[in-house]
Chain A
Amino acid sequence: MVDFLAGTLALFGDFQTIMIFTFALFGGMLFGAIPGVNMLTLGAVILPFTIAMQPDHAIMVFATIYCAGVFGGAITAILFNIPGAPENAPTCFDGYPMTQKGEAGKAIGAAVSFSALGGAVSAVMMMAATPLIAKWAVTSFGPPEIFALICFGLAVSASVGAKTLWKGWMSIFLGLAIATVGTDPVGGIRRFNEWSLFGFETSSYYLSAGIHFIPVILGFFAVSEVLTQAQNIAQGTRERPKASMQLPTMAEFWAVRITAFRSMILGFFAGVLPGIGATLAAFLGYSQAVRWSKTPEKYGKGELDGVVASETANNAATGAAMIPLLALGLPGGALTAMMLGIFQIHGMEPGPLIFINSHDLVWVMFAAMFWANVAILGLGWIQTKTVVHILRIPFRWLAPGILLLAVIGAFALRNLLIDVWVMLLAGIVGYLLRRTGYSAAGIVLGLILGKLGESAFAKSMQLLDYSALGFIDRPIAAFLIIAAILTVVNSIIREIRATRGAKAATKMLMD
């Protein structure tokens, strides 16, 4: 507590620090909220500047951008069906339908409140238990456990966003297949790097980098949304969503309390594990909200609960993601990897000693993350009232901007042109997928978890002497795998019953 107060004082103690904090906060929200670019873009842009900064400022900037960016991505997901980052993808499912119903204000209001709540609670838990949880996560979760968790994550999220369970699984498997392009995680062997099409053969080192999920998301969501809207405008069927100002009521907040609590726990848990992070957190939060709801059929059509589930979970993962980074020096994602670099540039190494060697700095960072979430609550309300007006801009003016930013965002990721091509191709595929009932989000989830899962599976097999039964010997892995199998069986039975029920109902009507 004393440490936290000292950190807060250091944060707000002098003008310069406040300025930097505010800059990072607005920067994160802005870059998160503009379709096409995201907090990673901002992180890469300001990385060189942090070398000249004071170490605690440099770390604080990134921690703040992280919190603000994860929230910012929700806004475009709700307004335009374009998630700012993969972890905002499930926010689209109900957020965008709410916008179409003219409830954009309500959806953003809920996203603001529960992002801030999830993030702040996660920050508090991070302060309380970093060294303890970190050691547990690394000791108990080896490659077999990570693989089992990914299986479980895929099992519970399979039907998310798809019309039927089968189409959901097809989407996931397509994503898993795309994840195999590139370089294999064990032997570094290149896969699908050579192509021959109608006798025209090509081979490129570019493809050795694999298909990254960021350009795929930009294509599936941003580019295909532009194409769909263009079609609607051309056919004269497009209705401009009403820019409503109505915010959620207290009763509505109270109604989603259980969802919020569940997502907080799931989000924090998923965030602690290196590499799993906010995306799985959001999908888990959303799928479990649907699973336990008394009215699951309402989800995907503009249910406030769905927005809350996804946004609470992904922000709850932010604080948790810092735990392995700080306590063990193990970054779990691209932004935390940049933070590790900043520590090292300034001559510090995250790890158990950082709490002793750089005690003050760690607490400035903790305080920054907590107050960034509190600030999101305040600034977010203002942003809600302003950002909704973007809907008033005619789409024909917005569309070129979105396309331009998507191209920049795809290229800026790794400075590789392949990512731009992937994005454009994904845009066309995403446009064609829209009416088929397959899930673009499912493909993205398969792609993200496919890479992590294959790597974890390969390591597990080597550790377990290539015996798949070895998973059963490890209690946590066994529990997760069995849970995954039960989930799949259960969902298949439900789906068959539902289809039979529907068929029977049609038959009754026919008779």
Chain B
Amino acid sequence: MKTNKLFMHLAAGALAVGLAGSAVAAEIAKPAGFPTRPLTMIVPYGAGGGSDQLARAMANSMDKVAGIKFQVVNKPGGGGTAAIPDFMLAPADGYTVMEHIDNAVSAYAKGDINENPATDWVPICTTQITFSQIYVRPDDSRFSSWDDVVSYAKANPGKLTMANLGKVGSMELVVMHQLQDALGIDVKQIAFDKPAERYGALIGGQVDVLFEQPGDVRSFLDAGTMKPVLTFLDERPDVFAEVPTHLEAGADFDALQRFRGFYVKKGVPADRLNFLQAACAAGFEEESYADFNRKKYMHLINSYRDTEGSIKLINGAVDTYRAMYKQLGIGG
């Protein structure tokens, strides 16, 4: 029974998409002789993770709106750097697209990688931009709000533990450094190498607080096993109307954000690049992708940037990182 319904749903969906797809595809002019075969989408993280899900969702919607087939290839390792040589080896013909996140930007700012994402690559588009939050356990009797966390941290210097991704100079650590500086508190960072391990560490009581983006812990928020106490954003988003922002908490700085987007190498012929840009723009608006982003809380702030906007985003982030690294004495 359920099978049939779902199948019909799928069939109807496919039909609708097919019709819509051909309509939209007609609007997006395909350049002569491109693409004649499926494109490769490199994902520098493992199958099933946040980047992988985004890449597959976008590949799916770009197929629907522009008829571009993608072969998604995961090349995980080295915190997203191991995939870069293969991307750089591929010819700049538009057939190889790479998904990457702001980690590439901080890695460049620090000197871990030589490729500048804004100039050596061309960002086709950025399709996920999100803010960070700090989470606690709802059943933790010590804190029910951000104020409690701050007074606990002040009463017990160096005792408050936070699960974080520990890579030196990461977005997480830079933002936390800015926050601690502004509020005069001392939070002990516990460096984790696998993102999901941190969730267990918070729920299991191994650490006191967690730094993360809401889309990644949505299941825990829905299940009531985690609770946000601070939002790193200029104003409170509707969904988290009860949670104060870092500005309200007294920390006056522009918080770095997490962003994920799609890149090709510099030197891709202009007509092919234009086609990919148009396909990404239309793919972002496409219903299944919009749904996907909503589920990940990516609709709370404007999550889309075109090539120019992405370059601005990247350059702004590079400046912030470099200034912070100078202050912290890291990188080269």
A residues near B, CB below 8 A? 14, 16, 43-44, 47-48, 51-52, 54, 138-143, 182-183, 185-190, 204-210, 274-275, 324, 328-331, 334, 337-342, 344-345, 347, 349-353, 414-418, 455, 458-459, 462-463
Contact = CB atoms under 8 A, between A and B. Distances in A.
Interface stretch (B52-60, B175-183, B241-249): B52-60
Contact of A459 (B52, B85, B167, B190): B190
B196 A463 contact: no
A241 B61 CA distance: 55
Interface string B147-170: 000000000000001000011101
A353 B78 contact: no
Given A205-B85, A349-B222, A416-B86, A47 B48 contact: yes
A206 B200 contact: no
B78 A462 contact: no
Contacts of A190: 78, 112
Interface stretch (B20-28, B117-125, B201-209, B261-269): B201-209
B220 A329 contact: yes
- Most chain-A Cβ atoms within 10 A of its Cβ — which of B53, B203, B219? B219
A340 B204 contact: no
Interface stretch (B67-75, B232-240, B251-259): B67-75
Given A142-B204, A349-B222, A350-B219, A337 B49 contact: yes
Given A44-B74, A142-B204, 11 more contacts: A138-B200, A140-B204, A187-B167, A187-B191, A188-B167, A190-B112, A209-B82, A349-B222, A351-B222, A414-B75, A463-B207
Given A142-B201, A351-B219, A351-B225, A416 B82 contact: yes
Interface in B14-68: 46-49, 52-53, 56, 60
B56 A183 contact: no
Given A205-B78, A324-B200, A415-B73, A185 B193 contact: yes
Contact of A205 (B76, B84, B197): B84
Contact of B113 (A185, A205, A207, A417): A205
Given A138-B204, A353-B219, A462 B189 contact: yes
B219 A416 contact: no
Interface of B: 2-3, 6, 10, 46-49, 52-53, 56, 60, 72-79, 81-86, 112-113, 161, 166-168, 170, 188-194, 196-197, 199-201, 203-207, 218-220, 222-223, 225, 295
B84 A463 contact: no
Contact of A341 (B10, B47, B190, B203): B47
A210 B161 contact: no
Contacts of A206: 82, 85
B75 A416 contact: yes
B48 A344 contact: yes
Given A205-B84, A328-B200, A459 B73 contact: no
Contacts of A418: 82
26 contacts: A47-B47, A182-B77, A185-B166, A186-B191, A187-B168, A187-B191, A188-B79, A188-B166, A188-B168, A188-B170, A205-B85, A206-B85, A208-B81, A208-B82, A209-B82, A210-B77, A330-B200, A331-B48, A341-B49, A345-B53, A347-B295, A349-B220, A415-B73, A418-B82, A455-B193, A462-B191
B166 A139 contact: no
Q: Which 5 pairs, one residue from A and one from B, show the smallest C-beta to C-beta distance?
A: A341-B48, A209-B77, A349-B219, A208-B78, A188-B167
B207 to A, nearest CB: 8
A185 to B, nearest CB: 4
Given A205-B81, A205-B84, A463 B206 contact: yes
Nearest to B6: A54
B86 A340 contact: no
A461 B269 CA distance: 52
Contacts, number: 160
Contact of B196 (A331, A334, A415, A458): A331
B192 to A, nearest CB: 7
A183 B192 CA distance: 13
B3 A415 contact: no
Contacts of B188: 462
B219 A329 contact: yes
Contacts of A329: 196, 199, 219-220
Nearest to A274: B200
Given A331-B196, A342-B48, A458-B191, A183 B3 contact: no
A54 B79 CA distance: 33
A205 B191 CA distance: 22
Nearest to A145: B206
Nearest to A51: B56
A209 B44 CA distance: 10
Contacts of A338: 47-48
A190 B191 CA distance: 16
Nearest to A137: B204
Nearest to A356: B223
Contacts of B168: 187-189
A51 B206 CA distance: 35
A417 B85 CA distance: 10
Nearest to A138: B204
A330 B163 CA distance: 15
B197 to A, nearest CB: 7
Nearest to B169: A188
Contacts of A351: 219-220, 222-223, 225
A414 B204 contact: no
Nearest to B49: A341
A162 to B, nearest CB: 30
A337 B206 CA distance: 22
Nearest to B14: A52
Contacts of A353: 219, 222-223
